[in-house]
């Protein structure tokens, strides 16, 4: 491939960025206040910052290659919105396919921070970086809000509410870095609702305070994450946290399907399964898509010695106005298999 000609200005900018990346390094923890060169380069190259830096250190990107790639990527200054992102991202994936208006999506359910599974979240982020979804749905219970539960609680954890909120915000920042251009839709689950419910019952006078709200505590607006209190419909797909729990994998999916009578995805049950139904209007189906929580830790707190019938994983797929295809990605030994390749965190 012939080497493209670079303007002097671009060469200098690429060199500056390249050198900054090598000298500054990158720490995903507390990245909000960390060096920005790697994040900036990764954003321009449309990749994950960690992946970018690892490749840089392995000599995969030379200065000239980095400059060339930076020159070939357009830098969008537009804010991310549900309206502009599909066009921006997806047109290059299916330039002439039969369904050019498809959106790709990933559903990452039930992290339950601070009882999240770090390895599984890492795996999900790596999947996101590779799959490059147009939309990411977070269908609730991302934050556990353990301190505000009604049942008896571990006193050692009682004073860590702010710490847990900060941890959840950091995890969301890492996700955002894996998908700089994706629309992220965070749908409220029953665990996020605990904060509002607590204020309504114990201190209703404080419930109107701006900062006593999940959105502000996790700085969702700054990260371009949309927070929805209700289920949402995205084209022909319905996404909700879920308010049914049935005893076996697939049973909750059946219940949600019969209740909603539309193709959809939910979390809440922590199980994986699906159910299909043929109606006069065609086939509809529902998926319950597992959990990204640390199942052992979470069940220790909530199930009192029972063995949890919960499944680690998430969902992904494609959707347009007429059709929706969903796949369940089960996590085994910290990895999912996608396109025949094992993806680890
Ligand atoms: Fe949950
Ligand atoms: Fe839930």
pLDDT in tens, 144-160: 999 998 887 788 888 88
Closest ligand to the CA of 144: 1
Is 267 inside a domain boundary? yes
Closest ligand to the CA of 245: 2
User: Who surrounds ion ligand 1 at CB < 5 A?
Assistant: 110, 141
Contacts of 284 (CB under 8 A, 6+ apart): 257, 261, 262, 263, 276, 277
Cα 272 to averaged position of ligand 2 atoms, centre (Å)? 14
pLDDT of residue 29: 37
* Residue 144 Cα to chain centre, angstroms: 16
Whether the link from the prior residue into 8 is cis, omega within 30° of 0, is: no
pLDDT of residue 256: 98
Is 39 inside a domain boundary? yes
pLDDT of residue 345: 77
Cα 124 to averaged position of ligand 2 atoms, centre (Å)? 19
Closest ligand to the CA of 111: 1
Say yes or no: 27 and 114 in one domain. Answer: no
DSSP 8-state symbol, 102: P
pLDDT of residue 207: 87
Closest ligand to the CA of 291: 1
Beta-strand relationship, 225-228 and 232-234: unpaired
Say yes or no: 13 and 47 in one domain. Answer: yes
Say yes or no: 259 and 234 in one domain. Answer: yes
Q: How many other β-carbons are positioned within 10 Å of the β-carbon of residue 273?
A: 20
Domain boundary (38, 54, 72) is at 72
Is 2 inside a domain boundary? no
Is 125 inside a domain boundary? yes
Say yes or no: 39 and 156 in one domain. Answer: no
Cα 139 to averaged position of ligand 2 atoms, centre (Å)? 9
In the block, tokens 């923890």 appear at 29
Q: Say what the pTM is.
A: 0.73
Q: Which two tokens stand for residue 338?
A: 């996608």
Closest ligand to the CA of 310: 1
pLDDT of residue 144: 95
Cα 130 to averaged position of ligand 1 atoms, centre (Å)? 26
| 119 membership: H or E segment, kind and range | helix 118-131
Is 1 inside a domain boundary? no
Cα 331 to averaged position of ligand 2 atoms, centre (Å)? 20
Q: Residues 193-212, buried b or exposed e (16+ Cβ, 10 A)?
A: bbbbebbeeeeeeebeeeee
- Please, are residues 211 and 158 in contact by the beta-carbon 8 Å criterion? no
Say yes or no: 65 and 112 in one domain. Answer: no
Closest ligand to the CA of 292: 1
Residue 129 CA to residue 50 CA, distance in Å, equals: 11
Q: Return the closest-CA partner of residue 185 out of 241, 146, 132.
A: 241
Cα 298 to averaged position of ligand 1 atoms, centre (Å)? 9
Residue 154 CA to residue 298 CA, distance in Å, equals: 12
Cα 144 to averaged position of ligand 1 atoms, centre (Å)? 8
Closest ligand to the CA of 194: 2
Cα 265 to averaged position of ligand 1 atoms, centre (Å)? 14
What percent of the chain has a predicted confidence (pLDDT) above 70? 72
pLDDT of residue 77: 40
How would you classify residue 292: left for phi > 0, otherwise alpha for psi between -120 and 50, otherwise beta?
Answer: alpha
Range(s) of the domain holding residue 27: 8-72
Q: Return the closest-CA partner of residue 107 out of 136, 81, 69.
A: 136
Say yes or no: 95 and 203 in one domain. Answer: yes
Say yes or no: 181 and 131 in one domain. Answer: yes
Say yes or no: 152 and 259 in one domain. Answer: yes
Say yes or no: 109 and 235 in one domain. Answer: yes
pLDDT of residue 126: 95
Closest ligand to the CA of 243: 2
Residue 27 CA to residue 47 CA, distance in Å, equals: 16
Cα 229 to averaged position of ligand 2 atoms, centre (Å)? 13
- Distance linking the first and last C-alpha atoms of the chain: 33
Is 262 inside a domain boundary? yes
pLDDT of residue 17: 67
Is 153 inside a domain boundary? yes
Taking only the tens of pLDDT, the chain with its 345 residues reads 444 455 666 667 666 766 776 666 554 433 333 446 666 666 666 666 667 666 666 666 666 566 656 555 543 444 455 544 444 444 444 444 445 688 999 999 999 999 999 999 999 999 999 999 999 999 999 999 999 988 877 888 888 899 999 999 999 999 999 999 999 999 999 999 999 999 999 999 998 888 899 999 999 999 999 999 999 999 999 999 999 999 999 999 999 999 999 999 999 999 999 999 999 989 999 999 999 999 999 988 888 778 899 999 999 999 999 899 999 999 999 999 998 999 987
Is 252 inside a domain boundary? yes
Give the bridge partners for 327, in sequence order.
316
Q: For the chain, how many structural domains are there in total?
A: 2
pLDDT of residue 21: 66
Say yes or no: 108 and 181 in one domain. Answer: yes
Say yes or no: 91 and 47 in one domain. Answer: no
Residue 190 CA to residue 68 CA, distance in Å, equals: 48
pLDDT of residue 78: 46
Cα 140 to averaged position of ligand 2 atoms, centre (Å)? 7
Say yes or no: 242 and 143 in one domain. Answer: yes
């Amino acid at each position: 491939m012939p080497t493209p000609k670079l303007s002097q200005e671009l060469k200098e900018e690429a060199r500056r960025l390249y050198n900054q990346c090598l000298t500054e390094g990158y720490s995903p923890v507390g990245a909000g206040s960390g060096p920005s060169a790697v994040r900036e380069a990764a954003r321009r190259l449309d990749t994950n910052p960690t992946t970018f830096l690892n490749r840089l250190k392995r000599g995969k990107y030379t200065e000239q290659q980095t400059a060339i790639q930076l020159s070939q990527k357009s830098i969008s200054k537009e804010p991310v919105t549900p309206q502009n992102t599909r066009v921006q991202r997806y047109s290059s994936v299916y330039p002439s396919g039969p369904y050019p208006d498809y959106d790709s999506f990933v559903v990452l359910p039930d992290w339950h921070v601070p009882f999240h599974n770090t390895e599984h979240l890492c795996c999900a982020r790596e999947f996101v970086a590779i799959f490059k979804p147009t939309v990411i749905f977070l269908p609730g219970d991302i934050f556990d809000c353990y301190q505000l539960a009604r049942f008896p609680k571990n006193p050692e954890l009682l004073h860590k509410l702010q710490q847990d909120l900060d941890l959840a915000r950091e995890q969301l920042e890492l996700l955002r870095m894996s998908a700089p251009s994706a629309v992220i839709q965070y749908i409220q689950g029953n665990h996020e609702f605990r904060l509002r419910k607590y204020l309504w019952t114990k201190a209703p006078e404080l419930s109107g305070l701006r900062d006593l709200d999940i959105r502000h505590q996790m700085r969702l607006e700054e990260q371009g994450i949309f927070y929805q209190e209700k289920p949402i419909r995205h084209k022909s797909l319905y996404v909700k946290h879920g308010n049914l729990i049935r005893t076996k994998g697939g049973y909750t999916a059946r219940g949600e399907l019969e209740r909603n009578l539309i193709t959809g995805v939910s979390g809440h049950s922590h199980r994986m399964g699906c159910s299909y139904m043929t109606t006069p209007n065609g086939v509809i189906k529902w998926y319950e898509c597992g959990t990204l929580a640390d199942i052992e830790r979470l069940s220790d707190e909530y199930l009192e010695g029972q063995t949890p019938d919960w499944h680690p994983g998430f969902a992904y797929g494609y959707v347009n106005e007429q059709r929706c295809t969903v796949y369940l990605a089960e996590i085994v030994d910290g990895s999912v298999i996608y396109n025949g390749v094992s993806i680890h965190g």
